[in-house]
Structures are given as C-alpha cells and as structure tokens.
Amino acid sequence: MSGLSLPSVVRSEWIKFRSVRSTLTGLLVTVGLTIGLGALIATAIRGHWDQMDPIAKLTFDPVSTSLGGTLFAQFATGVIGTQFITSEYSSGSIRTTLAAVPRRGLLVAAKLVVLVLTLLVVAELVCVGAFLLGQSIFAGVVPTASLATGGVLRAVLLGGLYLTLLGVWGFALGLILRHSAAAISTFTSLLMVLPIVMLLLPASWQSAASKYLPSELGRAMMSSAPRLDLFSPGVAVTLLVVYVALTTAIGTTLLVRRDA
C-alpha cells in the first residue's frame, strides 16, 4: 500500500470539487452566460443588421461576436477557481486538508488538474455550442463562419481555453489572498478596472499598453482574423499563460511558506 501521490490527491480533490453545490451552480452559470448571452447578442445583431453602418459591417466578426458571452462567463469561471481554495480557508477545512496532504505543492498540483480538466471540458463545449447557435441565428441575414474555415476552429477553441485560464487565475489569486471577497474583487479589478485606468494614460501609450490587458488578450485569442490593435492569437495565449503561471507560482510559494 502506498500513500500520497498525484492520482490519489486528484481523486480526493475531485470528490471535494463535485460534492459542493457552488461548483455545479458556477458551471451552470458559465453555460448559461456563454450560450444564453451569446444567443441574445446574435439575435440583437440580426435584428439591427440592416441599420448597422457599413464600416461596422465590414469589420464584423461572426466568430468573436458569437463568443461574446465569454465576456461575462469569465467571472463565473473565475469565481469557481477562487472558491475552490478560498472556501477551504473560510470553513477552516484547509487545516484538515493540509494534515491529510502535508506536501503542499502536491495539493496545488492536484487542485490544478481537477480545475483545468473540468473547466476545459465545460468551456470548450459551451464555446462550440455558443458558436454554432450564433451562426444558426445569423444564417440568412448576417455573414456566418464555418469551423472548417482557417482560424475559426482555433478562435472557438481558444475561447474555451481563455475561460479555463481565467478560472485558474481566480484560483491563483485565491491562493495568495485566502479570502473569497478579496480574491474576487482583485480578479474583477484586473478585468474591469484596469482598462479604465488605462484610459488615464497618454493616448500614444494607451494602444501599446492596453494590448497587454487580460481582457484584450482574450479578444485576441477569440479573433478568427488578424487584428492590428491586438496581439496575434499565439502571442496572446503565451502572455496569458505567463500571467496565470506567475500568479500560481507566487500563490504556491506562499502556501508552502506560510503557516496554515
């Protein structure tokens, strides 16, 4: 009989993840926001397509538009990730957890496996779903895209990856801050307040700097065609992965060093 290992701790964390109602609620909200709001946006555009100005029609991207719900769903995955660790602190169960799994790096690895796999499966499914539903709403009136076209499948799949990475980012912030409210408000600030702060910068810096914003990286990842104001999808994914990995590394180091 052996003891602690990545598979055994993953199994343990999977039981914890699926046995609280907030996980299911969070996932349902992710599905509802991505697909539901995506459909709502698509319907609104179809209805106003005739009145839209020519430039807007010219730059219209049926792919990223159908994935517009991710702009809201990112908060749901962020909260799922945050809660996965901060609920352990708020309930005090972190001490039971760490007594059972004293190898704290192993604990973080196991939680990441559970979080990434679950979010990735759900987020990819809802992004493909939102895309297909969006195109069927556009059909006949608004230009549509097909997954077979170059760059479209990539944009849809990166949409799912974006939601997943933001979930992990929420988790990493939770590791660092240990309180749900602090972690979630920091997460929200990164996505919503930082872009507003950017507006205070001189105009010449703005376009250069705002490309680095996580929300802008998300837009870049979900664009099927190259955009001048954004990074290429490859660069955007790399940058977002670096942000998330750095935050996770800081959080893990703190967990290992701090008293529980």
Partner 1 sequence: MLRVDHLTKRFGDNVAVDDLSFDVESGRVTGFLGPNGAGKTTTMRVVLGLDRPTRGSVSINGRSYHDFPAPLREVGALLDAKGVHPGRSARNHLLALAASNRISTSRVDEVLEQTGIASVAHKRVGGFSLGMSQRLGIAAALLGDPGVLLFDEPVNGLDPEGIRWIRDLFATLAREGRTVFVSSHLMSEMALSADQIVVIGRGHLISQGSVDELTRHASGSVFVSSRDDARLTTSLRERGASVMVSERGLEVSGASGSEIGDLALSLGVAVSELTPQRASLEEVFMELTADAVQYGATRSDS
Amino acid in the structure at residue 180: S
Number of residues that bind partner 1 (CB under 8 A): 31
Residue 178 binds partner 1 (CB under 8 A): no
Residue 73 CB, nearest approach to partner 1 (Å): 22
Give whichever of 174 and 214 is closer to partner 1, judged by the CB atom: 174
Residue 6 binds partner 1 (CB under 8 A): no
Residue 228 binds partner 1 (CB under 8 A): no
Residue 202 binds partner 1 (CB under 8 A): no
Residue 84 CB, nearest approach to partner 1 (Å): 11
Name which of residues 128 to 157 contact partner 1 (CB under 8 A): none
Q: Pick from 177, 7, 156, 11: which is nearest to 81 by CA?
A: 177
259: which 2 tokens?
């008293």
Residue 101 CB, nearest approach to partner 1 (Å): 5
Residue 1 CB, nearest approach to partner 1 (Å): 6
Name which of residues 20 to 79 contact partner 1 (CB under 8 A): 20-22
DSSP for 44-111, written as a single string: HHHHHGGGS-HHHHHT--HHHHHTTTHHHHHHHHHHHHHHHHHHHHHHSHHHHHHHH---HHHHHHHH
Cα-Cα-Cα-Cα dihedral of 196, 197, 198, 202, to 10°? 120
Residue 82 binds partner 1 (CB under 8 A): no
Contacts of 188 (CB under 8 A, 6+ apart): 75, 78
Name which of residues 84 to 113 contact partner 1 (CB under 8 A): 87-88, 91-96, 98-103
Residue 4 binds partner 1 (CB under 8 A): yes
Residue 253 binds partner 1 (CB under 8 A): no
H or E, element range at 171:
helix 152-177
Contacts of 255 (CB under 8 A, 6+ apart): 104, 107, 108, 175
Give whichever of 92 and 150 is closer to partner 1, judged by the CB atom: 92
Binding site for partner 1 (CB under 8 A): 1-4, 8-9, 11-13, 15-16, 19-22, 87-88, 91-96, 98-103, 259-260
